[in-house]
Structure 1
């Protein structure tokens, strides 16, 4: 049966002593003047009328005009089948290549599948070839429950220049770092993040040595809760990037109390190489 339906996120509520109000998908509340239409008839219509229930009568056409007003305002999809499939998931048709530690890749895979992606585990040696095979509807998420070994992500930094979305996260002690997503050649790479972080700390020599060290036990690692939080941030970036420009924020999640801090970050511009000794005046 066809029946008008409120758009996802919209709802009608009965306010004591004030009649109906519409909660919009953005969270605003609008007063609803139903005129000569009893409020209960509008509620019954939008709730859906089963096949064995008499539909609200609309002999004057007032109910139809009221529904059209909702439709014109963008809050109703008119004459939509009740069993019509929902909106297309935002990542439908996207192949998601996953690398890294299972404590993080498993929740990323579950959440990404819920929004339409096809998660596929892969390995570093096959990454470039798999991204090429997957084509333009491909994204790479690389998650580490440990610091990033030197040069591990260097090859992956070239993915965005070839049209493959590139997201990553890693852990340093009690902090998880979620880097900005890269969707094209102008976005932030992991190399940019390393340079910006080194430039922003007086302990740049120590930080560089920490990254280069042979890491042993480096903290307790992710729990199910912190891994789910981190995975949600990554999948949220993918969903946002499907329609909007990515935000240029480096995020640090404190795994002890789930405090999230954000740091604006920009790509490091290319510069002219230093002259060699032979070329120097």
Structure 2
């Protein structure tokens, strides 16, 4: 029977195989594209598979040279693909959080070549060394100085959960985007029971329930999708900059809510204090 083996081109994500019906040797790249190899030397697939019998040194040298040039071309294309996926000038990313989702995000980004600063706490981060900060918290959080990151040219993406309800805030890429504080205020304004929501966020709560696999996958998928849109400057980024995403584990449903930035109001408390003192 003819050999139907698919053989990896070592050091790359590509494979080759014989199309014995047409006599072609076909290359399939990691992107799923198929290419016919042009004038490949005899035995190239068997050589890659390590099943080549003894050959004259000249023939073996030709095959090795062809495979070397093939591997170099594939590597060049894969490096170009990697730049498309996540450009190098945006590959320094800070991931903050001690929970499972933060670990999932850090591991996933590392696997695609992103350079990670991983910290449990925000005060350990060096903002000058990153282009994006992703933070994941296990409860309502006051992010403090991290909300100033967009003013320093650092993109800012945050997620947190309240019990088994997850929130991924709009990504902030400039000071014109909604801050964490503004999102919290918008949530209060939109709630039919803002007093209860405020009280809930201010109370000390028991440890959150254990994460399910579904929660980890759904939330990590959303965070990674937004981060990739930022890295690629995808048109969807504009939507992500004004969308609060929620996942309710109890129902398995997601929701999206528009959230827009607004000019910072006058500090009414300071103004009132100043008036009283005068």
Q: TM-score under structure 1 normalisation?
A: 0.65
How far did residue 177 of structure 1 move? 0.6
Answer yes or no: is the 8 Å Cα contact 1:188–1:267 preserved in 2. Answer: yes
How far the C-alpha of 1:115 sits from its partner, in A, is 3.6
Q: Is the 8 A contact 1:104 1:231 kept in 2?
A: yes
The reply to whether residue 147 of structure 1 matches residue 129 of structure 2 is no
1:250 to 231, 237, 244: 244
How far did 1:221 drift?
Answer: 3.5
Partner of 1:238: 227
Counterpart in the other structure of 1:262: 256
Is the Cα–Cα contact under 8 Å of residues 91 and 116 in structure 1 kept in the other structure?
Answer: no
Q: For residues 186 and 115 of structure 1, do their structure 2 counterparts lie closer, same or farther at Cα, with a shift above 3 Å needed?
A: farther
**How has the CA–CA distance of structure 1 residues 138 and 82 changed in structure 2, closer, same or farther, with 3 Å as cutoff?**
closer
Name which structure has the greater RCO, CA cutoff 8 Å, separation 6+: 1
Larger helix proportion of the pair? 2
Aligned mates of 1:174, 1:125 — CA distance in 2: 27
Task: Calculate the aligned-residue CA RMSD, in Å.
Answer: 3.1
Residue 77 of structure 2 corresponds to: 85
Pairing partner for 1:190 from 164, 175, 180:
180
Cα distance, 1:83–1:116 mapped onto 2, change above 3 Å = closer
Give SS of 1:199's match.
helix
In structure 1, distance between residues paired with 2:207 and 2:74? 55
Offset at residue 44 of structure 1 (A):
6.2
CA separation in 2, counterparts of 1:257 and 1:205?
A: 25
Aligned to 2:98: 101
Q: Distance in 1 between matches of 2:101 and 2:73?
A: 39
Contact 2:24 2:36 in 1 (8 A): no
1:272 aligns with 2:275: no
Instruction: Tell me which residue corresponds to 1:30.
Output: none
1:49-198 correspondence runs (5 A)? 49=37, 51-52=40-41, 81-86=73-78, 87=81, 88=83, 89-93=85-89, 94-122=91-119, 123-127=121-125, 130-132=126-128, 134=129, 137-144=130-137, 146-149=138-141, 151=142, 153-198=143-188
Q: Could you say which residue in structure 1 is the equivalent of 2:69?
A: none
Q: In 2 relative to 1, CA 43–200 (structure 1 residues): closer, same or farther, beyond 3 Å?
A: farther
Structure 1: state its 5+ residue gaps. 1-39, 55-79
Structure 1 residues 273 and 228 mapped into 2: Cα distance closer, same or farther (>3 Å)?
Answer: same
Q: Aligned residues, how many? A: 210
Deviation at 1:125, TM superposition (A): 2.0
Post-superposition CA distance 1:134-160 (Å, at most 9, x none): 0xx52111112x3224x3x02110111
Going from structure 1 to structure 2, the CA distance change for 1:42 and 1:98 (only over 3 Å counts) comes to same
Residue by residue, what CA displacement relative to the aligned partner does 1:209-257 show, whole Å, maximum 9, x if unpaired? 1111011134x23223311221121121111113144421101112234
Seen in structure 2, the aligned counterparts of structure 1 residues 279 and 102 have a Cα distance that, compared at 3 Å, is closer
Residue-by-residue CA offset, 1:40-97 (whole Å, 9 max, x unaligned): 799969532262369xxxxxxxxxxxxxxxxxxxxxxxxx934533112415352221
Once the two structures are TM-superposed, the CA of residue 124 in structure 1 deviates from its matched residue by: 2.1
Question: Structure 1 residues 279, 42: CA separation in 2 closer, same or farther (over 3 Å shift)?
Answer: farther
The 1-side partners of 2:176 and 2:188 are apart by 21
